[in-house]
Structure 1
Amino acid sequence: MKTATPNKPHWPALPRPRQIVVVLIISVLIAWVTTPIFQSPFWLVLRRTTFIAMVMLLAFTVSGTWRLQWMPRWIPRWLVQVLAICFLAPFASLAAYVAIAGNFMNFIKANNLLSGFATSTIFAIFFGSIVAVVAINREGKQRERADRLQLELEKNALEREVLDARLRLLQAQIEPHFLFNTLANVQALVEVGSENAAPVLRHLIAYLRAAMPRLNDADATLENEMQLVSAYLEIMHMRMPDRLQFELKLAPELNSLRFPAMALLTLVENAVRHGIDPGTESGHIEVGGRQDASSGMVTLWVTDTGIGMAETAVPGTGLANVRARLQAYFGKDASVDLHEQTPHGLRVELIFHPGAKA
């Protein structure tokens, strides 16, 4: 069986294609400017300039990648690269002119080549240092941007993990709270020997079969939530048919809105347990939602005509978790407001913008 050959990594000491293209363009410009000075054909000057520039580019990349063992760590990388260019500039110029003369002895004997060599060396050090400083400055800025981007990505990933962990914790607190309260309602029917105990238990089992797969559903929608609310209120209506009536009024355009699972159901359960159940009169629960066309703000509400909220009442875990989960989904501006109803009862409103980010 053949094994895949791994891709060879790029050797960092070698110039990148983009660097080579830039150096070639600069070589053409320098050759065009200096041709009158050397009084030589343009193509000869270009060939010599390109050779020197490529040698200096290699010196730039190698010196930026390698750090000699004897070199103190306090010496900055940019200084090493500039010194490497200045050091190799005379040797690159010498090699170019020796190639033109044919051999070293001919080069020594030709005075015009010696003067050209000196001029080329000065130009190489001058232009090479300028280009190197500009390239180092540009690389530094790119490195800073890349570091900032990487830091921002890591920060966002960490915030996402913290947010997910927070949502899981809050939902884990709500799920047993709802389940045990619902089972307590069934227990109460059984203890008083109500004929509705068996039907309610059957509906509860069917309800839990539908609800349990959605408890950890990160993609739950308001339509899913209203289905659970409806099933729950049907069970509560069977438990106390003469004392509980309910109505659902969710705007159809909100059905597909992403929403934290069981958040609205927690408010409905509180309305039944703390509003309707303790009273002696018949009560009514309304669950609805609408979206403001101009601002885009969504308002969900749960109203009941129960006993209302006592002045000394302290919001429980369920309400605190709903507020925390709502803000985790829709940002810190999302709110949970409580309003007393006239003549009695309570209205809980969830207000948020669906496009807001946590």
Structure 2
Amino acid sequence: MRGERRDGRRFSGLERRSPNGYRGGMTNPPLRAASARHPALPTPRQWLVVLLITLQLSWVLAALSSGPFLSVLLRIGFIGVLLLLTYTASGTLRRRWLRLLAVVLMAPLATLAIFLLTEPVPAKRALVYGYIMLAILSSVIGTLATLVALRLERKAHERALRLRQERERDTLERELTAARLRLLQAQIEPHFLFNTLANIAALVETGSDNAGPVLRHLIAYLKAAMPRLNDADATLDTELQLVRAYLELMHMRMPDRLQFSVRVAPELHGLPFPAMALLTLVENAVRHGIDPSLEGGRIEVGGQADAASGRVSLWVGDSGQGMSESAQPGTGLANVRTRLQAFYGPGARLDLHEETPHGVHVELTFTPRSAA
């Protein structure tokens, strides 16, 4: 594979400080909305569970004791409400066994309370025995319900912790991706400027009449390019403007050896696109395809979208010297591939093919972020 041009621009604007102190753009941790419900109060789901247990237990006890269902329901419901309030109020206790102990102790106390409120004193022995059995039954059912609730709470806590860790890991991965993009763009930016200035120096040294116009076009190009060096929201349209300006500049330097065309479907112009990625491929084609060839050649830049799959294809083809068997791969294509995958995901591809009879065709394929 032939050597390639290594150029680009600094990738910035992805890290901005937000008022809460977090880095904006890539990281913006969600803020928890304050709940209007007091933490010591039961949730609607807990009320519903207690209601279902109370109804079922009341139906069984009413059938066994031949007592009125409503009377039994009121007594069981009173005990169930006290046990539920005890469970939720003890939620601030760090030890789970303390919450279980609080519910177990509340069961006989709640039974005693309902006995004193509803039965005459002294009461019949059979009635007293019935309330003792009710206290034991309340303790058993309260213990089982508390154990189940504690287990569910632990699972919910573990699930919330796991989700929070996944969000943090995702945030770190995005920050690493942003840092990687900035590093790659900082790596290729100086080469673009140095190589362009070297072209101007060569014209001046040879006394070419094109040195003045080329220098003026370079100044115009830099005026157009420099404001975009820190643009984090670059689009394919802005990239194509830079590509056309660069090719016009190179055409003035070698008007008889370079021809070009830029034809990209208009509906693609508004797509977000990593800045100067396409320009890197175009400059690589000029530097290593057209320049070394005595006959020169033609560069074609194109792009279209597949209506069925939604994937976009962009290509840069040249009819220049082609790939040399002894050439060593540089960092230009590797940087473009890495930036493209960081921008559009691992499904983005960069493919390089040798043209017949000579030349190189580089194609980028990806799914736009809005359709991913």
TM-score normalised by L of structure 2? 0.82
Match of 1:55 among 64, 82, 85: 82
- TM-superposed deviation, 1:125: 1.8
Q: Is the 8 A contact 2:263 2:303 kept in 1?
A: yes
In structure 1, what residue type is equivalent to 2:109? F
| 1:160 counterpart letter in structure 2 | R
Equivalents in 1 of 2:127, 2:244: separation in Å? Answer: 96
In structure 2, the partner of 1:88 is 106
- CA deviation digits over 1:100-139, x for unaligned, max 9? 236xxx14x4324312211211221232223223322322
Counterparts of 1:40 and 1:98, CA distance in 2: 18
Tell me, yes or no, if the aligned pair for 1:331 and 1:357 is still in contact at 8 Å. no
Summarize the alignment of residues 161-200 of structure 1 with structure 2, pairs less than 5 Å apart: 161-200=175-214
Secondary structure in structure 2 of the residue aligned to 1:312: coil
Runs (5+) with no aligned partner, structure 2: 1-33
- Most deviating of 132-141 and 282-291: 132-141
Q: For the Cα contact (< 8 Å) 1:299–1:352, is it kept in 2? A: yes
Q: Distance in 2 between matches of 1:187 and 1:113?
A: 110
Match of 1:20 among 17, 39, 47: 47
Matching residue within 50, 63, 80 for 1:36: 63
The answer to whether the 8 Å contact 1:329/1:357 transfers is no
Considering only CA atoms, is the larger Rg found in Structure 1 or Structure 2? 1
Q: CA shift at 1:37, angstroms?
A: 3.4
Structure 1 residue 228 corresponds to structure 2 residue 242: yes
Kindly indicate whether residue 270 of structure 2 is the aligned counterpart of residue 246 of structure 1.
no
Structure 1 range deviating more: 161-170 or 295-304? 295-304
Question: 1:9 Cα shift?
Answer: 8.2
Residues 1:273 and 2:287 aligned together: yes
Aligned to 1:46: 73
Q: In structure 1, what is the equivalent of residue 168 of structure 2?
A: 154
What are the residue-to-residue correspondences of 1:197-346 with 2, within 5 Å? 197-346=211-360
Matched with 1:4 is none
CA distance in 1, matches of 2:92, 2:67: 37
What is the alpha-carbon distance in structure 1 between the residues aligned to residue 40 and residue 311 of structure 2? 57
2:115 alignment partner in structure 1: 97
SS at match of 1:261: coil
Matched residue type, 1:349: E
Q: Cα deviation per residue 1:273-292 (whole Å; 9 max; x = unaligned)? A: 12212232232111112233
* Amino acid aligned to 1:255: H
Change in CA separation of 1:8 and 1:280 when aligned onto 2, cut-off 3 Å: closer
SS in 1 for 2:137: helix
CA drift of 1:356 comes to 9.7
SS in 1 for 2:227: helix
Q: Which moved more, 1:17-26 or 1:266-275?
A: 17-26
Q: Does 1:116 align with 2:130?
A: yes
Amino acid of the structure 1 residue aligned with 2:110 = A
CA shift at 1:163, angstroms?
A: 0.9
Unmatched 5+ stretches in structure 1? 1-6, 68-75
> Which residue identity is paired with 2:279?
L
CA distance in 2, matches of 1:314, 1:328: 25
Deviation larger for 154-163 or 181-190: 181-190
**What CA deviation, in whole Å up to 9, does each residue of 1:233-255 have, x standing for no partner?**
01111111111111112123322
- What letter corresponds to residue 238 of structure 2 in structure 1? N
**CA deviation string 1:131-155 (max 9, x = no partner):** 2233223223322322222222112
Deviation for aligned residue 1:10: 6.2
Q: Aligned pair count?
A: 339
* Runs of at least 4 residues off by over 4 Å: 7-11, 355-358
Which residue identity does 2:259 align to in structure 1? Q
Question: Does structure 2 retain, via aligned residues, the 8 Å contact 1:82–1:129?
Answer: yes
In 1, Cα distance between equivalents of 2:227 and 2:45: 54
Query: Please, which moves more after superposition, 56-65 or 84-93?
Result: 56-65
Within 2, Cα distance between the matches of 1:122 and 1:39? 20
Q: 1:292 to 1:11 in 2, by over 3 A?
A: closer
The amino acid of 1:256's aligned partner reads: G
Worse-matched range after superposition: 177-186 or 7-16: 7-16
CA drift of 1:195 comes to: 2.5
Structure 2 CA distance for aligned equivalents of residues 101 and 333 of structure 1: 75
- Counterpart-to-counterpart distance in 2, 1:164 and 1:321: 14
Q: Which residue number in structure 2 is paired with residue 73 of structure 1?
A: none
